[in-house]
Structure 1
Amino acid sequence: MSTFKAPKGTYDLTPPDSATFLAVREALAAPLRIAGYGYIETPGFENVELFARGVGESTDIVTKEMYTLTTKGGDELALRPEGTASVLRATLEAGLHKAGNLPVKLWYSGSYYRYERPQKGRYRHFSQIGAEAIGTEDPALDAELILLADQAYRSLGLRDFRILLNSLGDSECRPAYRTALQDFLRGLDLDEETRRRIDINPLRVLDDKRPDVQKQLVDAPLLRDHLCDACRAYHAEVRALLTAQGVAFEDDAKLVRGLDYYTRTTFEFVHDGLGSQSAVGGGGRYDGLSEMIGGPALPSVGWALGVDRTVLALEAEGVTLDIPPATSVYAVPLGEQARTVLFGVVAELRRAGVATDLAYGGRSVKAAMKGAHRSGARFTLVAGERDLAEGVVQLKDMESGAQEPVALAAVTDTLRSRLG
């Protein structure tokens, strides 16, 4: 056994479970590809200041959860705790917003890191699929992204998730609400750290999950009652577009999520089968983030969906994905000559797109056939010296047990036909 183990709060993806994660990633990304979103990949670490400015210096992510490091050259870096700031930074650096085709529509997949107390559904290393529509203010974009996530979850067979929806207003209407909320919060019995948040970002207090805090927030002023006419109309159109497409949602007036950059539309996908860590994904509009990190005005909207959380949601609903076996054909050579010949047959089948494996290591027929069963192969190819002398291999159907000789020259065509 190895001396080393995976760091606390992390996990390894190993077969066969890793096949489920790959299938979930593919399903979450599939709707984006056909909606005009191009793939982007950014570094696993960025300048600390990018997240401090964008995510917010008052957030738990920046103050408590970021993994930071100082390079030998003195640069202050952080492992990325979320994807939006990195994607927007890359968009600005590459000048994608200058190509004249707004919005810039991007999707990404990767690992993210937050130092927090590990528990089921919450890890220090986690995987997400994300999507961003950068450079356009349009309620149809907000609705599109929510619709695409809804389609992705349903394509996996998930049914018991809910969409929570809210508007956080903008620079016109949020200041008055901020003042009203601060006045309310200052009259509550809160600990010192929470009181500091009242002055820095009072909306963050609404996101506090502690029952004793939530109990005091029952009568807190709501942002929806302070929205300006423009924000109210914008939110109404998002709701109308979703309703027209049959997407069910729940209005949640206290939904603020954990990042400072959100404006107007904010949403969250939750699954009640996951207990306290019920969020499986979420996002919203972030019209001012570009300016926060030194770019031009680029109103944008996006989301991130947790791959780990989605897998847990599937387990909670008892949904098993139909994942084809990694191997369709398994070749079993009987002797050195057969090993050489079947090695060539395996290579030819792979070139033809047939998932094929070979019994390596000179195992006995019995051990090799056990390997064939474990691989999940639909067919096996068995060949010995007599078979080769006749120019054939034995093709065995692993479901029916039927076996028949097939000419070596016809193996690829025969298997492609039978595998469809």
Structure 2
Amino acid sequence: MTNTNATFGLPRGMRDIEPLEMARKLWVEETITKSIRGFGFSFVEPSPLENMETLVAKSGEGVRNEIYGFKDKADREIGLRFDLTVGLARMVAGKMDWAKPIKLAAISNMWRYDEPQFGRYRCFYQWDVEVFGVAGVEADAEVISAGVGALESLGLKEFEVRINSRELVEGLLEEAGVSADKTSSAMRAIDKLAKVGKAKVLSELKAAGVSEKAGSKVLELCGTRGNLKDTVKLVKVKGSNGKNEKIASGTAKLEKLAELLGAYGCLDRCVLDLSVVRGIDYYTGIVYEIYDTASPELGAIAGGGRFDGLVKVFNGGDVPATGIAGGIERLMLSLEKAKAYPRILEAAEVVVVPVNEKMYNEALKIAAKIREAGISCDIDLLKRNLSKQVSGAAKKGARFAFIVGERELKEKKVNVRNLETGKEELKGLDEAVKYVKGN
């Protein structure tokens, strides 16, 4: 009997992950892990629980509204992490003796108390790579390339990396007459440009004390977008033609970044987009977001940037840092839309089917040998009849049934049935295993 009492439903924004989706998620995470390891990153797991003061230290008190926070039994303010970057930076701050550069990666879940939306839940998963201890754009190029490599390893083809420099935008804001105390507010407004449009952003800039003339000039420049290498040169001229130090420094770093990304072989995927500034205050320099160009409605499937001041906030010294992170759920939606998933089994590849109960123990021995050969294998614990075992195996997505009867046992063979085609062949166990691996 099904209990329909609403008390036993899930909290808003939460969900269960069912077998097929979980199998795909594990494949995505395993594939990303292998790709990122190829760049020499070490995987870690920062604590899911942090002191509230850690979570708000750099992001500001405003982030409290997005945190799953509570007081523990000792009346301490605690919160569930909302990203992996804060925890990784705190880890590094406590391990200042680690050899630099420190290259860390993580794949895990986090929580944000914001409005659930398409492809985004209040508990969600991310992959993350960070480099600590490198001030130069070499680190930015490394993490961008690692992110591109991870997505390409999954078979995703239609995506682009939108790159910008907050230092450059700060210079453009200065040239437009925006005072230093209004810069953060102006940045947060610009970050919404693609979502809410120019009129709304102009309104927010005005509320932040930016004149309409200055706001219009800023938005005109922030609408600049194009090939990374060529567009940086254009911005340099349109901005202040080298007269503003922040513009000069920002464009110089972007030019160097373009050169390095060319050497990594991923420059063709990169564009300069001056509207990308990232909304979180701990970002300090080059920032980037990755979009699935075939499914733009998903929003950014990854993003990151430089956060040079974050480790110092946690009493860890002046350690430059940069990183990128991507949402697993949105990425899975991209892969599904692109039909990029390989055949992924949600259960066992082979099911051993004893023709009767007398053959059950022998079937268990055969199943053990199949698993030793590295093939996932199941057996019907309900001991149903032959037809129900085979149909049940097909429903679960198994590819092959190894049928075991007295005749097969006497001949030291199994009857291999391809559950997709229905074809059957009598094979020795070693031959059957090779057949499964080859098909």
Task: Tell me the TM-score normalized by structure 1.
Answer: 0.85
Amino acid at match of 1:31: S
Amino acid at match of 1:53: A
What does 1:32-51 correspond to in 2, within 5 Å?
A: 32-51=36-55
Aligned to 1:110: 108
- State which of 345, 355, 371 in structure 2 corresponds to 1:334: 355
Amino acid at match of 1:33: R
Q: Is the alpha carbon distance of 1:228 and 1:335 closer, same or farther for their aligned partners in structure 2, counting shifts above 3 Å?
A: same
Q: Is the alpha carbon distance of 1:379 and 1:63 closer, same or farther for their aligned partners in structure 2, counting shifts above 3 Å?
A: closer
What does 1:20-419 correspond to in 2, within 5 Å?
A: 20-58=24-62, 62-93=63-94, 95=95, 97-100=96-99, 102-169=100-167, 174=170, 177=173, 182-183=178-179, 198=182, 201-208=185-192, 209-211=195-197, 212-214=199-201, 217-220=215-218, 225=239, 226=244, 227=246, 229-244=248-263, 245-247=265-267, 248-274=269-295, 276-323=297-344, 326-388=347-409, 391-399=412-420, 401-406=422-427, 411=429, 413-418=430-435, 419=437
Q: CA–CA distance in 2 between the matches of 1:127 and 1:139?
A: 28
Q: CA–CA distance in 2 between the matches of 1:302 and 1:249?
A: 16
**Pairwise CA distance, 1:166:** 0.6
Q: Is the alpha carbon distance of 1:405 and 1:207 closer, same or farther for their aligned partners in structure 2, counting shifts above 3 Å?
A: closer
Q: Is the alpha carbon distance of 1:274 and 1:400 closer, same or farther for their aligned partners in structure 2, counting shifts above 3 Å?
A: closer
**Pairwise CA distance, 1:34:** 0.8
Amino acid at match of 2:327: G
SS of match in other structure, 1:54 = coil
SS of match in other structure, 1:394 = strand
**Pairwise CA distance, 1:360:** 1.8
Unaligned runs of 5+ in 2: 204-214, 223-234
Q: Is the alpha carbon distance of 1:200 and 1:324 closer, same or farther for their aligned partners in structure 2, counting shifts above 3 Å?
A: closer
Unaligned runs of 5+ in 1: 185-196
Tell me the alpha carbon deviations over residues 159-195 of structure 1, each in whole angstroms, 9 at most, x when there is no partner: 332211111129xx959946966459xxxxxxxxxxx
Q: Is the 8 A contact 1:329 1:379 kept in 2?
A: yes
Question: More displaced, 209-218 or 239-248?
Answer: 209-218
Q: CA–CA distance in 1 between the matches of 2:60 and 2:174?
A: 16
SS of match in other structure, 2:92 = helix
**Pairwise CA distance, 1:246:** 4.0
**Pairwise CA distance, 1:395:** 3.1
Q: Is the alpha carbon distance of 1:238 and 1:42 closer, same or farther for their aligned partners in structure 2, counting shifts above 3 Å?
A: same
Q: Is the alpha carbon distance of 1:396 and 1:315 closer, same or farther for their aligned partners in structure 2, counting shifts above 3 Å?
A: closer
Question: More displaced, 297-306 or 6-15?
Answer: 6-15
SS of match in other structure, 2:364 = helix
Question: More displaced, 44-53 or 19-28?
Answer: 19-28
Q: Is the 8 A contact 1:20 1:323 kept in 2?
A: yes
Q: CA–CA distance in 2 between the matches of 1:312 and 1:400?
A: 30
SS of match in other structure, 1:16 = helix
